[in-house]
Amino acid sequence: MTILITGAAGFIGANFVLDWLAQTQETVVNLDKLTYAGNLETLASVQGDARHIFVQGDIGDSALVARLLAQHRPRAVINFAAESHVDRSIHSPDDFIQTNIVGTFRLLEAVRGYWGNLPADDKAAFRLLHVSTDEVYGSLAAGDAAFTEQHRYEPNSPYSASKAASDHLVRAYHHTYGLPVLTTNCSNNYGPYHFPEKLIPLMIVNALAGKPLPVYGDGMQIRDWLYVKDHCSAIRRVLEAGQLGEVYNIGGWNEKPNIEIVHTVCALLDELRPKADGSSYRTQISYVKDRPGHDRRYAIDASKIERELGWKPFETFETGIRKTVQWYLANPEWVVNVQSGAYRDWVQTQYASTAEA
C-alpha cells in the first residue's frame, strides 16, 4: 500500500512523514517543489528508507502528478503543499494564487482522472485529504464562540483567501464529481522543524542570536496553538475514519495572546540556556509595526473530531512548548542550514518594513 503526500518537505508534512514511517509499513511518495520552505534535511533520517520515495516537483504539474499516480497507485493523497506564510502573502501574493489555488485545482483534476479509472474496490477505498487552516474563517472578537465547521468563510489575507479558494474547489469536486475528499482546518502549529519565519521558532532563534524579538502591534492577538505531532495524529485519524465530504476542525484548546507566547519562550530559555550576563531574554522584546489586516483572534472548536472520531491532542501547551524549545537548543545545525541566503533576504525585507513601533 502506498500514499502520495504533497509538500512533505515542509514543517507539518515532514513531521507527518516521520511519524507515518515510524508507525506503519506503508510506502510514502513525497511530492515537493522544494521552495524556500521545503527542506530535505528534515527527512535525513528516512533517506535511504525504501518506504520513502522523494520526487521534486510541483502539484500544478498535471503530467507529473498523473504519472506518479499511475506509477505508484496510491490508496490516498494528502495535500499539504502550499505557500503558508501570511506575511509573505502580503508582500507578494502571486505564488499563493499559483500554488494554493491553481496548484490545488490541477492536483484535483489529476486525482479525479486517476480515481475515475480505478477498479471498483480501490475506487471505493480511495481518499483525498486536503490540509487547510482555521484562517479561512476570518477573525473573532473577544467573547465570540470558537470556529465550528459551520462558521462562514471570511478570509482576510491573500494567504487565507487562497486557502479558502482551495477548500471550495475540494468541496466542489466532491459535490460535482463524487471525488472522495476529506478536509481538515487546523489552528496554529508549533514544534520541531518549524521554519524560523513563524512566530515561535523566530523568537527562539532571534533570542539565542541576541537579536530583537519583534512583536507586531500590541502583541494581544490571540492564536490557538497545537503541537505539530498532534496535528499529524488528527490527520491520520481523519484519513482512517473521516466521513466522505466532511470537514474536521483541529485545534488544541490553547488560546494565547502572542505576548504570552513570547514571554513563555523567554522564560524557558532563561531556564535552559541562561544568558551570561544574567539578564532575561525578555529584554530583547521589541514592539514593531503591526501586520496589515492582522486577524485579532482565532479559536478552534474541536468538538466534532473529538465526538465523532475520538481524537484529542496528547500534548498540553506547557509540555509541547518545552519540547519545542529543547529541540531548537539541541539542533543548532538544522537552524543554521535553513537560514540560507534566501532566508536572510526575507528577514531583511520583512523587518525593515515593520521597523517602527
Contact set with ligand DAU (CB under 6 A): 84-86, 133-135, 187-188, 198-199, 202, 214-216, 221, 223, 258, 291, 298
For the segment 253-282, give every residue that binds ligand NAD (CB under 6 A).
none
Query: Helix, strand, coil: what percent of the chain each, to 5?
Result: 50, 15, 35
Q: Is 81 in the site for ligand NAD (CB under 6 A)?
A: yes
The interface partner of residue 103, options being ligand DAU, ligand NAD, none and the CB cut-off 5 to 8 Å by kind, is ligand NAD
Q: Is 295 a catalytic residue?
A: no
Tell me if residue 81 falls in helix, strand or coil: coil
- In angstroms, what is the minimal distance from the CB of 73 to ligand NAD? 20
**Which residues 178-207 are close enough to bind ligand NAD by CB under 6 A?**
186, 188-189, 195
Give the residue, chosen from 27, 30, 104, 133, that forms a contact with ligand NAD under the rule CB under 6 A: 133
Q: Which does 211 bind (CB under 5 to 8 A by kind): ligand NAD, ligand DAU, none?
A: none
Per annotation, catalytic residue among 87, 134, 224, 301: 134
Per the annotation, the verdict on 95 as an active-site residue is no
- Neighbouring CB atoms inside 10 A of 193's CB total 23
Return d(Cα 8, Cα 238) in angstroms, integer.
18
- From the list ligand NAD, ligand DAU, none, partner contacted by residue 9 (C-beta under 5 to 8 A by kind): ligand NAD
Start-end of H helices in 43-188: 62-72, 86-91, 94-96, 104-116, 120-125, 158-177
Residue among 37, 36, 57, 44 at smallest CA distance from 17: 44
Query: Is the Cβ of residue 214 or residue 313 nearer to ligand DAU in the bound state?
Result: 214
Torsion of CA 279, 188, 126, 23, to 10 degrees: 30
Our finding on whether 12 is near ligand NAD (CB under 6 A) is yes
Cα–Cα distance for residue pair 352/355, rounded to 1 Å? 5
Beta carbons within 8 Å of 166's beta carbon, 6+ residues apart: 82, 100, 101, 104, 130, 132
Cβ proximity to ligand NAD: between 205 and 281 the closer is 205
Nearer to ligand DAU, 256 or 304 (CB): 256
Question: If binding is defined by CB under 6 A, does position 88 make contact with ligand NAD?
Answer: no
Burial 112-123 (b: 16+ CB within 10 A, else e): bebbeeeeeeee
Among candidate residues 83, 135, 224, 255, the one labeled active-site is 135
Listed ranges 25-33, 115-123, 234-242, 270-278: which one lies at the site for ligand NAD (CB under 6 A): 25-33
> Is residue 95 classed exposed, middle or buried when 0-12, 13-18 and 19+ CB atoms within 10 A define those classes?
middle
Please state the separation of Cα 319 from the chain's center in Å: 20
Residue with cell 465523532: 308
Decide which of ligand DAU, ligand NAD, none touches 215; Cβ closer than 5 to 8 Å per partner kind.
Answer: ligand DAU
Smallest gap from residue 12 Cβ to ligand NAD (A): 4
Angle between helices 11-23 and 228-241 (to 10 degrees): 60
> Is 315 in the active site?
no
**Residue 81: which of ligand NAD, ligand DAU, none does it interact with, CB under 5 to 8 A by kind?**
ligand NAD
Residues near ligand NAD (CB under 6 A) are: 6-7, 9-13, 31-35, 37-38, 58-60, 80-84, 99, 103, 131, 133, 163, 186, 188-189, 195
- Tell me the catalytic residues: 134-135, 159
